[in-house]
Amino acid sequence: MRAPSLQSMFGWVLWRDLILAWRHRADVLATLFFFVIVTSLFPLGIGPEPQTLQTIAPGIVWVAALLASMLSLGRIFGNDYQDGTLEQLLLTRQPAYLVVLAKILAHWLVSEVPLVLMAPVLGLQFGLSQNSLLIVVVSLLLGTPVLSLIGSIGAALTLGLRAANVLVALLVLPLYIPVLIFGTGAIQSTVNGTATQPWLLLLGATLILAFVFAPWATSAALKISVE
Amino acid sequence: MLEVINLTCVRGTRLLFKNLNFTASPSELIELRGPNGSGKTSLLRILCGLSSPAAGQVNWNGKNIRSLGEEYFGAVAYLAHQNAVKDELSAIENLRISTGVAGNPLNKSQAREVLERIGLSDRESLPARVLSAGQRRRLALACLLTSKATFWILDEVLTSLDDEAVKLSREFISEHLKNGGLAVIATHQDLNLLAERVKRIEL
């Protein structure tokens, strides 16, 4: 018997989560609408002054992205935990690290990439320049995977608990702070005309760090949660 | 080859069992009996490595399963109380995805064959949500059948199955044992299996 490759098993987990997300597309759209509505309410509430809007834009886009990604964290493992498929996923020949990584990748593709694609359109409401809009997209592209990676730790730790949603927020939001600071810093720098590159490099470094450690921490947390 | 050495299980503050010892070799069936709440499921979860025992250890081919990790998971198939069936997916999608994830991918026609064998061929494209409890159990059995695991751990395998499906699952289990497989089955019903060697453990 030829041993099946780890890539193909990784692919099946990813494919599985993408199909399931497609069958629940209303949930996915809810996250996106939340992001759109929160970012659109601010210009309406604050008034059309371009100077003010440009100053607050980076913070609002990033805080809205943070909160929107929080909304969908429960779905990474929640349903699988309830119907017993999570146990079966952990009982496979592939390391738990890879299962977790595939699920995080699926979560990012489903819940975060639409926000990244939508962000430049929303940025227009704040009167951001073309260059700023580009940095909005780049910083979100680098930063949102970190949100999925770190969020998965919180989601795994709170599996099966009653106040899981509140706990996830308490656990995860403080850990999101570096991403928030670096992400808004990058966009702010384009508005102020200072150097953008350092902020993006910091975001990239955070991404690498989260990529290495978060799936490992998440799989350890999952093993405790299913026990 | 499975060895259980001085296994002790504590749930909360309750001692479920203490100093449990048994061994199982290829083609051997272990029937696990005991009243509700006596720790059958807990023992099975320890055997498949999902929970850790309060004391003692489980060895597979002479090595502690805790140190074997994924290598051991590849040799084990666990049929839990929950069927691990996704409501949103059709029967055939459920089967193909769970086998793919476990590393034994089936193509469409192979998956159809398995579903036919288990008696679900006319239900293959219905979402699992609309299947009956027995049909969902059959679907979980289908996933078990396609696994190449040598060690089957089955929790109340006959629950909600009709006579025909019970007969089928007896055949599958006997066949598995005949091919040199090993099985631990927690059950309340008599299995009446034609296995050569059966050990019964009361909890």
| ipTM of this complex | 0.89
Beta-carbon contacts of A88 under 8 Å, excluding residues fewer than 6 positions away, are: B78, B80, B84, B98, B101, B102
Query: How near does any CA of chain A get to the CA of B72, in Å?
Result: 8
For residue B98, give the nearest of B51, B139, B44 by alpha carbon: B139
Domain residues for A161?
7-226
Size of interface A-B (CB pairs under 8 A): 88
Q: Which amino acid is at B44?
A: L
Mean pLDDT of the A157-163 span: 88
User: Has residue A160 been placed in a domain?
Assistant: yes
Rounded alpha-carbon distances, angstroms, from residue B124 to A17, A23, B2, B92: 20, 17, 36, 5
User: Has residue A92 been placed in a domain?
Assistant: yes
Q: How many domains does chain A have?
A: 1
Residue A1: pLDDT band with limits 50, 70, 90? very low
Query: How near does any CA of chain B get to the CA of A76, in Å?
Result: 14
User: Has residue A21 been placed in a domain?
Assistant: yes
- Beta carbons of B148 and A16 less than 8 Å apart: no
User: Has residue A27 been placed in a domain?
Assistant: yes
The answer to whether the CB of B16 falls within 8 A of the CB of B38 is yes
Beta-carbon contacts of A64 under 8 Å, excluding residues fewer than 6 positions away, are: A34, A35, A38, A39
Query: Phi and psi dihedrals of A20, rounded to 5?
Result: -60, -40
pLDDT in tens, B82-96: 888 999 999 999 999
User: Has residue A2 been placed in a domain?
Assistant: no
Give the model's pLDDT for residue A3: 54
Measured distance CA(A62)–CA(B80) in Å, rounded: 43
Instruction: Decide if pLDDT at B180 tops 80.
Output: yes
Q: Are strands B28-33 and B182-186 parallel, antiparallel or unpaired?
A: parallel
Q: Which residues, in sequence order, are bridge partners of residue B11? A: B14
What is the pTM assigned to this prediction?
0.92
Q: Looking at beta carbons, which residues of chain B come within 8 Å of A4?
A: 103-105
Task: Choose the most confident range, by mean pLDDT, from A145-149, B162-166, B180-184.
Answer: A145-149
Measured distance CA(A150)–CA(A178) in Å, rounded: 11
Mean pLDDT of the A100-110 span: 95
User: Has residue A1 been placed in a domain?
Assistant: no
The answer to whether the CB of B136 falls within 8 A of the CB of B165 is no
